[in-house]
Chains A and B, each alone.
Chain A
Amino acid sequence: MTGRGMTIKWLFLLGAAALLAALIYNLADALRGGPAERPHVIVMVKSTATGMEFWGVLKDGVLEAAKEFDVEVEIVGPERETDVDQQIGLVEKALADKPDAIVLAATDFNRLAPYADRIKEAGIPLITVDSAVNSTAPRSYIATDNVEAGSKVGRKLAELSGGGRSKIAIISYVRDTASQIEREQGVRAVLKADERFEILDTYYSGGDETKAYEITKSLIQQHPDLTGIVGLNEPSTVGAGRAIRDLEAVGRVTLVGFDSSVDEVRLLEEGVMKATVVQRPFNMGYLAVKTAVEVLRGEKVPARVDTGSVVVTKDNIYEEEHQKLLFPFIGMNGD
């Protein structure tokens, strides 16, 4: 046999082997993965109550991502945000279900932490959304940069305030919730740097509008020199706004708040509230599921994803983009 013939033979054999390899690869590819292998992701929200627009929109984002990435999602959560125990129970149940990934919006920064660790120990990737937990277990945290959002509120308040001394009260919601802590931190950082401002205590409404109303009412009455109120979430802001409206303190007390609702829009239009910082819950839900899918695919994901926030004032309520954020059309997917 000639040397050339030898080469041709080897080339030929090599080609045949490559062909066979391609065939086997295709076979494996064809056999691998089917409809049965859709990843199962449990999304644990803070509240499933129908009135909570924020969570409704977030769910829309979750469902939209589930459709796009072909994921089987299961959305669970306690009835009310304050029901930490119920959420813990649901986390335990989710652990027993052994999903492929868990997306968690923690109702309590510290109390959910051991459960985050347990999720990690069970080998289930954990993504936190909106509210973090005091644990290193989550692979990624997808939320508004609440410190930044808080600063935006602070800056807006500073911008709206006159030259004189200002006394500011902060009405928060649930103590020890990560988002609350961060927002307050952002607000305080801006206002402390500005010597015009004196910050009163932080008051907790417990996410209850009536309680926020009562708190604000007594604050306005007790502190005649109160010039500004920051509401750290929707019920706290609306409650404060109602109190200001009822006490006819609109000109005296500047209200800057968080989140959105028809009531807040109303307060904006009326001029009771000067601005609100709106988050992007749709993006949060969407990105949380997307990130979970990326983790399941073995991709590297950023530890922190900021979904951003927008300052809405009376003048730009009806801008196209803000309409979507302020008047969420829940159930876009028809689910």
Chain B
Amino acid sequence: MNLFRFKSIQLNIAAAFAVLILLTAVFMGVISYQLSAVAVRDTAKDFTGEIVKQVNANIQSYVTNMENISLLVLNHRPVREYLSGDAGDGGSISEFFRTIMISRKDIASIGAFSYEGERFASDRRDARLNPYVKVADQTWFKEAKAAGGRTVVSAPHVQPVFDDEYRWVVSLSREIRSADNTRGLGVLLVDLNFSVINDIVSKIDLGKRGYVFIVNDEGNIVYHPQQQLIYSSLKTEAIDKVLSVGSGTFMTSEAGQRKMYTVQDSEYGWKIVGVSYADELIGNRRQMKLSFVALGVFSLIAAILISVLLSRNLSKPIQQLHEHMKEVEKGNFNIQVPVDRTKEIGRLARTFNLMVFQIRELMGQVVKEQEFKRKSELNALQAQINPHFLYNTLDSIIWMAEEKKSEEVVLMTSSLARLFRASLSKGKELVPIRTEIEHIKNYLTIQQMRYRDKLDFQVEVDPAILSCMTLKVTLQPLVENAIYHGIKNKYGTGTIRITGERHGDRILLRVADNGVGMDAATRERLLAPDSGGEYREGKGVGMTNVHERIRLYFGHEYGLTVESEPDAGTTVTVAIPVVLPEEAARKEAAER
């Protein structure tokens, strides 16, 4: 997958984790929000249903009340008698109505109106009818007449029949029939104060903005808090749906407002409708949303933190490994990566450590081998006798033999033989200083015989150091150098002085000549490594090689130092450690 191809593992892991956790949080948040919203809505729905049912029950109780009153009146014979014009007087019936109305504040009025003879009785004392209004024209009157004895409940209206009264009432009307039930005598009116119903309905709280309205079976609005707006068509209600639904709940949506209608049918022909706003149903929607969003933000932060920590934990050992590798790159093999607890990275670190260890071992071996090789090379070089020297010496011997100088021939030949033997030295690298001095004396003897009065030499070595060991053929190249570069070019006799002494824990062997000497630049070049190992005509085995051999064998603190002054001579000092023969034997054994 290429989804997370960032440059670093850490970023990769961090991004992957952050996205994963965020997605999970959002997913969970949305689902739980939806679930809670549904739960809250259901609760609100039940709650609204209960409220609307309660409103219905309250209104029902008032209607029942009115019906009971109507029954009471219908069963009161004097009323019938009075309406039919047979007997009785309005006064006693009015008294009877007033008795019914005692402690009945909800009832506005009770009245009985005859079909004929314009007789009427009401609870009012000295009641007068509104002279400008005909009772027979009133809706409640006409409907009761048509209903033939059944009760009729009107919509709220202004009752104008009583003089100087315009009260908002709900009228229950019913035909009063003759005792034999053959004909109607008149209409009974029971008016309920509309304020009673208004109080019930207007005090209902369906959220901040919800409300209750009432429609009758024909779909006419009986009560609505914004009835005037409906008359002016500024507001509409889903009346058709309300009528078709019977009792139940449905949702509507207009102008982005979702509303829930809870309809409750009633026995008296009205439908009580509770309207609540969907966004209010989930009243604490905002808080819910806020808490879910807060959860989301929290999990995002957690995701980032966790992923950063995790990825750092993962990538830290890799980083460490990388740092160590860099060290190795620089050439430092003396390192050890701490082994991580994680299986994979730990294995990697262990393998790396093993590898570095092996490289170190190999490197050591290579260095050793190289040193050994070099040493052997130098030794081999050292062991060689300069062929020119040999040729010259043999030439001198022939020349002396021709002159019959047999004594000198013997001396030179024996010196040459000893020189050879000394340089063989049974293949050992270390020889006692005594042997080395012996060797140089033989060499100098031969040279002196060749150069006669041109060369003189002195050897003054502390006898205490004679048994100490030195590398073989150390002095010969120095002496050769002193002869060829110091003395040969000098006018007159040159003297080579070889001294040896112990100086603390070192032995200093010096080869001093009083030859032409050299300037500082030449002296500097003398021990420079680039001249090392080269054999040049007339130069003998380079002093450099001696210097290097000593340093290789004894360490860098030892070696040659050159002091020289032009026309005054040169002194080369060989510094070696004090090595006793038994130590030397041990060392030689170890080297094998």
**In the assembly, what is the distance between CA of A64 and CA of B461, in Å?**
131
Contacts of A274-329 to chain B: CB distance below 8 A: 280, 282-283, 286-287, 307-308, 314, 317-318, 320-321, 323-327, 329
B5 contacts A5, CB within 8 Å? yes
**In the assembly, what is the distance between CA of A23 and CA of B194, in Å?**
52
Cβ of B208 within 8 Å of any chain A Cβ, yes or no, is: yes
Cβ of A122 within 8 Å of any chain B Cβ, yes or no, is: no
Q: Out of A68, A270, A283, name the residue touching B132 (CB < 8 Å).
A: A270
User: Which of A8-16, A153-161, A213-221 is found at the contact surface with chain B?
Assistant: A8-16
B contact residues around A327 at 8 Å (CB): 158, 166, 168
Cβ of A26 within 8 Å of any chain B Cβ, yes or no, is: yes
B5 contacts A9, CB within 8 Å? yes
B227 contacts A324, CB within 8 Å? yes
Asked, given contacts A280-B232, A283-B228, whether A30 binds B293 with beta carbons under 8 Å apart, the answer is: yes
Cβ of B332 within 8 Å of any chain A Cβ, yes or no, is: no
Interface string of B1-43 (1 = CB under 8 A from A): 0110100000000000001001100100000000000000000
A329 contacts B194, CB within 8 Å? yes
Asked, given contacts A9-B3, A334-B202, whether A30 binds B228 with beta carbons under 8 Å apart, the answer is: no
Cβ of A29 within 8 Å of any chain B Cβ, yes or no, is: yes
Cβ of A247 within 8 Å of any chain B Cβ, yes or no, is: no
B231 contacts A26, CB within 8 Å? no
A contact residues around B296 at 8 Å (CB): 23
Residue in A closest to B19 when the chains form the complex, CB atoms: A16
**In the assembly, what is the distance between CA of A19 and CA of B198, in Å?**
50
Cβ of A36 within 8 Å of any chain B Cβ, yes or no, is: no
B contact residues around A324 at 8 Å (CB): 227-228, 231
**In the assembly, what is the distance between CA of A68 and CA of B220, in Å?**
22
Residue in B closest to A266 when the chains form the complex, CB atoms: B164
Cβ of B234 within 8 Å of any chain A Cβ, yes or no, is: yes
A334 contacts B199, CB within 8 Å? yes
A320 contacts B290, CB within 8 Å? no
A30 contacts B133, CB within 8 Å? no
A contact residues around B23 at 8 Å (CB): 19
A contact residues around B227 at 8 Å (CB): 324
Interface string of B260-301 (1 = CB under 8 A from A): 000000000000000000000000001001100110110010
Cβ of B347 within 8 Å of any chain A Cβ, yes or no, is: no
Q: Out of A30, A70, A270, A325, name the residue touching B209 (CB < 8 Å).
A: A70
Asked, given contacts A31-B290, A283-B228, whether A323 binds B158 with beta carbons under 8 Å apart, the answer is: yes
B155 contacts A280, CB within 8 Å? no
**In the assembly, what is the distance between CA of A167 and CA of B354, in Å?**
127
B19 contacts A5, CB within 8 Å? no
Which of B5, B226, B300 has the largest count of A CB atoms less than 10 A from its CB? Answer: B226
A318 contacts B160, CB within 8 Å? yes
B211 to chain A, nearest CB (A): 8
B166 contacts A265, CB within 8 Å? yes
Cβ of A61 within 8 Å of any chain B Cβ, yes or no, is: yes
Cβ of A222 within 8 Å of any chain B Cβ, yes or no, is: no
A contact residues around B168 at 8 Å (CB): 327, 329
A1 contacts B234, CB within 8 Å? no
Residue in B closest to A270 when the chains form the complex, CB atoms: B132
A contact residues around B458 at 8 Å (CB): none
**In the assembly, what is the distance between CA of A4 and CA of B19, in Å?**
21
B241 to chain A, nearest CB (A): 21
A contact residues around B133 at 8 Å (CB): 269
B contact residues around A282 at 8 Å (CB): 228-229
B209 contacts A19, CB within 8 Å? no
B159 to chain A, nearest CB (A): 10
A26 contacts B3, CB within 8 Å? no
A320 contacts B155, CB within 8 Å? yes
B contact residues around A308 at 8 Å (CB): 232
Contacts of B190-213 to chain A: CB distance below 8 A: 194, 198-199, 202-203, 208-209, 211
B contact residues around A224 at 8 Å (CB): none
Interface string of B132-171 (1 = CB under 8 A from A): 1100000000000000000000010110100010101000
A70 contacts B208, CB within 8 Å? yes
B229 contacts A283, CB within 8 Å? yes
**In the assembly, what is the distance between CA of A26 and CA of B290, in Å?**
8
Cβ of B358 within 8 Å of any chain A Cβ, yes or no, is: no
B157 contacts A29, CB within 8 Å? no
B47 to chain A, nearest CB (A): 19
Cβ of A49 within 8 Å of any chain B Cβ, yes or no, is: no
A332 contacts B289, CB within 8 Å? no
**In the assembly, what is the distance between CA of A329 and CA of B226, in Å?**
12
**In the assembly, what is the distance between CA of A308 and CA of B231, in Å?**
11
Residue in A closest to B285 when the chains form the complex, CB atoms: A30
B226 contacts A64, CB within 8 Å? yes
A57 to chain B, nearest CB (A): 8
B209 contacts A68, CB within 8 Å? yes
B166 to chain A, nearest CB (A): 5
Cβ of A96 within 8 Å of any chain B Cβ, yes or no, is: no
A contact residues around B155 at 8 Å (CB): 320
Cβ of A136 within 8 Å of any chain B Cβ, yes or no, is: no
**In the assembly, what is the distance between CA of A19 and CA of B21, in Å?**
13
Cβ of A165 within 8 Å of any chain B Cβ, yes or no, is: no
Cβ of A193 within 8 Å of any chain B Cβ, yes or no, is: no
A1 contacts B2, CB within 8 Å? yes
B229 contacts A286, CB within 8 Å? yes
Cβ of B538 within 8 Å of any chain A Cβ, yes or no, is: no
Asked, given contacts A5-B2, A321-B231, A333-B225, whether A27 binds B158 with beta carbons under 8 Å apart, the answer is: no
Cβ of A50 within 8 Å of any chain B Cβ, yes or no, is: no
A283 contacts B232, CB within 8 Å? yes
**In the assembly, what is the distance between CA of A308 and CA of B228, in Å?**
12
Q: Out of B158, B164, B228, name the residue touching A280 (CB < 8 Å).
A: B228
B2 contacts A9, CB within 8 Å? yes
**In the assembly, what is the distance between CA of A325 and CA of B227, in Å?**
10
**In the assembly, what is the distance between CA of A270 and CA of B132, in Å?**
6
**In the assembly, what is the distance between CA of A8 and CA of B3, in Å?**
7
Q: Out of B2, B164, B202, B297, name the residue touching A2 (CB < 8 Å).
A: B2
Residue in B closest to A28 when the chains form the complex, CB atoms: B293
A contact residues around B293 at 8 Å (CB): 23, 26-27, 30
Cβ of B370 within 8 Å of any chain A Cβ, yes or no, is: no
**In the assembly, what is the distance between CA of A1 and CA of B198, in Å?**
75
Known: A68-B209, A265-B166, A324-B227. 7 other contacts (CB 8 A): A9-B2, A27-B290, A34-B286, A282-B229, A283-B232, A283-B234, A320-B157
Q: Can you offer 21 A-B residue contacts whose CB atoms are under 8 A?
A: A5-B2, A5-B3, A8-B3, A9-B2, A9-B3, A23-B297, A23-B300, A27-B294, A30-B289, A30-B293, A33-B286, A64-B226, A67-B211, A283-B232, A286-B229, A287-B234, A308-B232, A317-B160, A320-B157, A321-B231, A332-B198
What are the nearest 3 A-B pairs in CB distance?
A: A5-B2, A269-B132, A30-B290
